[in-house]
Chain A
Amino acid sequence: MEKTKINITDEVAIHISNMNKWYGNFHVLRDINLEVMRGERIVVCGPSGSGKSTLIRCINRLEEHQKGRIIVDGTELTTDLKNIDKIRSEVGMVFQHFNLFPHLTTLENCTLAPIWVRETPEKDAQDIAMEMLEKVKIPEQAHKYPGQLSGGQQQRVAIARSLCMKPRIMLFDEVTSALDPEMIKEVLDTMIQLAEDGMTMICVTHEMGFARQVADRVIFMDDGQIVEQNEPESFFNKPQSDRTKLFLSQILGH
Chain B
Amino acid sequence: MSKIAFVQKNKIPPSPAPISEVGFIGWLKQNLFSSWFNTLLTLISIYFIFIILRDFIPWAWGGHWNTKSLRECLDLNPDVACFSVLTARWKQLLFGLYPAEEYWRPTVTFIFLILSMIPILFPKYFKFFWFSVIYPGLAIWLLWGGSIWGVGIVYIGLSLGIFTFILLLKLVSKNTVLAGIGALIFLIVFFMFFSNYLVNFLNIILPIALPPVESLKMGGFTLSLIVGITGIVASFPIGILLALGRQSNLPIIKMICVGFIEFIRGVPLITLLFVASVLLNYFLPPGTNFDIVLRVIIMVTFFSAAYMAEVIRGGLAGLPLGQHEASASLGLTYWQSQRLVIMPQALKISIPGIVNTFIGLFKDTTLVSIISLRDPVGLASTIRADQTWNGIYWELYVAIGLMFFIFCFGMSQYSQYLERKLKTDK
Contacts and interface: CB of A to CB of B under 8 A. Distances in A.
Interface of A: 60, 62, 81, 85-86, 88-89, 91-93, 95, 97-103, 112-113, 116-117, 145-148, 158, 161-162, 165
Interface stretch (B10-18, B132-140, B291-299, B338-346): B338-346
20 contacts: A60-B329, A85-B333, A88-B329, A88-B330, A92-B329, A93-B326, A95-B322, A97-B320, A99-B320, A100-B326, A102-B425, A103-B424, A112-B341, A113-B331, A117-B331, A147-B426, A148-B425, A148-B426, A158-B326, A162-B329
Nearest to A146: B424
A96 B340 CA distance: 22
B424 A113 contact: no
B332 interface: yes
A165 B330 contact: yes
Contacts of B336: 116-117
Nearest to B344: A103
Contacts of A92: 329
Interface in B405-426: 422, 424-426
A88 B331 contact: yes
B328 interface: yes
B329 to A, nearest CB: 4
Contact of B330 (A102, A103, A113, A145): A113
Interface residues of B, number: 22
B400 to A, nearest CB: 39
A88 B331 CA distance: 5
Contacts of B345: 101-103
Contacts of A91: 329
What 9 A-B pairs come out closest when comparing CB atoms?
A89-B331, A147-B425, A99-B326, A99-B322, A113-B330, A145-B424, A93-B329, A88-B331, A117-B331
Contacts of B262: none
A165 B328 CA distance: 13
A101 B341 CA distance: 7
Contacts of B348: 103
Nearest to A116: B336
Given A103-B424, A145-B424, A147-B426, A97 B329 contact: no
Contacts of B320: 97, 99
A48 to B, nearest CB: 18
Interface of B: 320, 322-323, 325-333, 336, 340-341, 344-345, 348, 422, 424-426
Contact of B322 (A97, A103, A145): A97
B425 A88 contact: no
B425 A162 contact: no
Nearest to B333: A85
B424 to A, nearest CB: 4
Contacts of B344: 103
A31 B329 CA distance: 25
Contacts of B424: 102-103, 145-147
A197 B340 CA distance: 32
Contact of A117 (B322, B332, B341): B332
Contact of B332 (A62, A102, A113, A147): A113
Contact of A99 (B323, B332, B425): B323
A93 B329 CA distance: 6
A162 B422 contact: no
Contacts of A165: 330-331
A148 B329 CA distance: 24
Contacts of A102: 345, 424-425
A81 B326 CA distance: 17
Nearest to A118: B331
A147 B325 CA distance: 19
A97 to B, nearest CB: 5
A32 to B, nearest CB: 20
A85 B337 CA distance: 12
Contacts of B328: 62, 88
Contact of A116 (B325, B326, B332, B425): B332
Nearest to B321: A99
A91 B327 CA distance: 13
Nearest to A90: B331
B266 to A, nearest CB: 33
Contact of B425 (A81, A97, A145, A158): A145
Contacts of B327: 101
Contacts of B322: 95, 97-99
Contacts of B330: 88-89, 112-113, 117, 161-162, 165
A48 B259 CA distance: 41
A62 B425 contact: no
Contacts of B331: 85-86, 88-89, 113, 117, 165
Nearest to B345: A103
A219 B329 CA distance: 23
A117 B327 CA distance: 11
Nearest to A114: B330
B231 to A, nearest CB: 28
A159 to B, nearest CB: 12
B325 A112 contact: no
Contact of B329 (A62, A86, A100): A62
A93 to B, nearest CB: 4
Q: Which of B329, B341, B425 is most buried by chain A, counting CB atoms within 10 A of its CB?
A: B329
B329 A103 contact: no
